Amino acid sequence: MDDRLRVGGARGYVVNPRLVATDGEYDGEEACLSVAGVHAMRLRAAYACVEGVDVHGRPVVVEGTGELARCLQHETDHLRGELYVDALTGEGRRAALRMPRGARPGGA
């Protein structure tokens, strides 16, 4: 039985995910409820793969591209105690940290 899960609109769980592979580059706006109202452009891998277990303790692999890859990387960063703003540098970091808290991403 193949325990590889390819997510395409499916819902599921990955307990204790570990980022095991990335590839390419994908730039886009990122935000996080941990720093509500702050958003910034953030370069991420275009492809990401995580391994972990499901809610029953069975091995599971989730891989994705684009926004799913961004989410997989973003959430595994949290498990290492990192926020996406920690990786921002220069004017991008200064601009993000000057944003008023509670503002909506995209200025809406």
Residues designated catalytic: 75
Residue type, 85: V
Burial category of 46 from C-beta neighbours within 10 Å (exposed 0-12, middle 13-18, buried 19 and up): middle
What is the C-alpha to C-alpha distance for residues 25 and 93, in angstroms, rounded to an integer? 19
Cβ partners under 8 Å of residue 73, min gap 6: 19, 22, 44, 45, 48
